[in-house]
Homo-oligomer: A and B are copies of this chain.
Amino acid sequence: MFRKTRLFTPGPTPLLPAAQFAMAAADVHHRTPEFRALYSKVLDQMKTFVGTSNDVILLTCSGTGAMEAAVSNLTSPDDEVLVLSAGKFGERWTAIAKAFKCQVTIVSKPYGQTFTLDEIKAQLKPTTKVVFMQATETSTGARHDVEGVAKLLQGTDTLLVVDGITGLGTTLLDVDGWGIDVIIGGSQKALMIPPGLAYLAVSERAWKRMESSRQPKYYFDLPKERKSAAKGEASYTPPVALVAALGAALDHLAQQGDGDLAKGRDLLIENAETCATMTRAAAKALGLELFALASPGAAVTAIKAPSEASSDDVVKGLKSRFGAIIANGQGEMKGQLFRIAHLGYFDYLDTIALIGALELVMSSITPGRFQLGDALRVAQSVFAEHTSKAAVAQPA
C-alpha cells in the first residue's frame, strides 16, 4: 500500500493547511501598516490563546531561545534560583541558569516522575529569586503540578517561570489566576505551524524585576521588545511568514470556538486529552506500560518499549510500514521508550489510525500478547465515553 508521511511527533507537529498557505503567501515587509496590523492582532490573539491579560512577546528563535530570554532578563549573576528537573527540558533550565552564573538549586526526580509539593517546599528559601519548571516535560510525557507550585509561591517575592512549550494548548493553565509570572511557548507545538517563533507572556512584577537584571544581552531584550510590540513591531526583523501562519492558526482556533478563541483553545486542550486517553488505553491493551504513569500529560504519551525489544523497532516499524513518524526517547532514553504526540492539529481519524498501525507493528514485535483489534476496541470505547460528555470540535 501507499504510505503517506505523517508526523506524530511532539514538535514539529502536523501543519494546519490554512497556515501553510498563509505562510507561503506572506511576501510582506515588516515595517508597513499592513504588517503592523497583523502583528498587533496576533499579539492580542496570543493573550487569549495563553489565557492571560499579561503582554505577550514574540521572539524569532526556538523555544530554547525564549527559555534563555527568561533567564537572562529576570536574573543577575549569583542569583539563587530553583529548578524543578525530571527530564531533558528540566535539565535545560539548569544548563541555561548555570551558563548565566546563577546559583542553581535543583529539585531532581527520575525521568518519568514528577515532584511532590513537599519536596519543592523544602528547597524554597526567602532568597530564591526564581523557580523554573515545565508544565509538561516533553521528554517523558509527564505533567507537573504548576498550580500547586504557584500556590507555594503566593505571597513571596519568588517569580514562577513555566516552560509551557508543550503545555500550552494541551493543559489547563490559569496563568493570571495562579500567578504564573512568565510562561513560554513555541510555534511548532499546539499552534500547528512550523518552528522558528517562540513566545513569552510576562507579568507586571516580572517586567519590574527585569529593571534590575545585570545579565549581558542584546538580541533577547524583553523590555525593548515590549516597547516595539506596543507599536505593532518587533525590534529586529520578525519571521513574517511564520507570523502570517500564526495569524491563520489563531483564526482557525477562533473559528473552532464559534468565533471565540478562548473556547477554541479549550476545545484544543480537550481534543489533546481525548487523543491521549485513547492512546493510553490502547497502550495498555497492547500489554505496554506508560513511562509517566503517575502523571501523564496530554501533549505526548511516552510508552515503555516491551522488555524483549528496543523502542527503535517500534519507531522504525511505524515509519517503514506506515509512514508514521513518532518520537524515540531523547538522549539516554533512546531505545527505552517511544512517544506519540497529541498536541495541535490531530483528530480522531489520526489517532485511531495510528493506534491501528501500532497494533500491527506490536503484533510483529510481541506476537501473541494481544489479539488484533484489542487496542482499537478500547480506543473506540474511550472516544465514545469522552465525546458523549464533551462537545466535539467542529471540522475545519
A residues with CB within 8 A of B: 5, 7, 9, 11-12, 14-15, 20-21, 23-32, 60-65, 68, 71-72, 77, 95-96, 99-101, 186, 188, 194-197, 215-220, 235-242, 325, 327
Contacts and interface: CB of A to CB of B under 8 A. Distances in A.
A130 to B, nearest CB: 16
B218 A64 contact: yes
Contact of A9 (B14, B29, B197): B29
28 contacts: A5-B28, A7-B27, A12-B28, A12-B237, A12-B240, A20-B24, A23-B194, A29-B325, A29-B327, A60-B62, A61-B219, A62-B238, A63-B237, A64-B235, A65-B219, A95-B218, A99-B216, A99-B217, A194-B241, A195-B240, A195-B241, A196-B196, A196-B239, A196-B241, A219-B220, A239-B239, A239-B242, A241-B242
Contacts of A25: 20
B188 A237 contact: yes
A228 to B, nearest CB: 12
Which of A7, A101, A216, A325: most chain B Cβ within 10 A? A216
Nearest to A238: B195
Contacts of A235: 64
A29 B237 CA distance: 25
Contacts of A32: 325
A77 B77 CA distance: 14
Judged by DSSP, the binding face of A is loop
A54 B28 CA distance: 33
Given A11-B237, A219-B64, A196 B242 contact: yes
Contacts of A29: 7, 9, 12, 325, 327
B12 A218 contact: no
A68 B219 CA distance: 7
Contacts of A217: 99
Contacts of A30: 12, 195
Contacts of A220: 219
Contacts of A186: 237
A106 to B, nearest CB: 17
A220 B100 CA distance: 13
A178 to B, nearest CB: 27
Contacts of A238: 62, 195
Nearest to A27: B15
A327 B240 CA distance: 16
A118 to B, nearest CB: 31
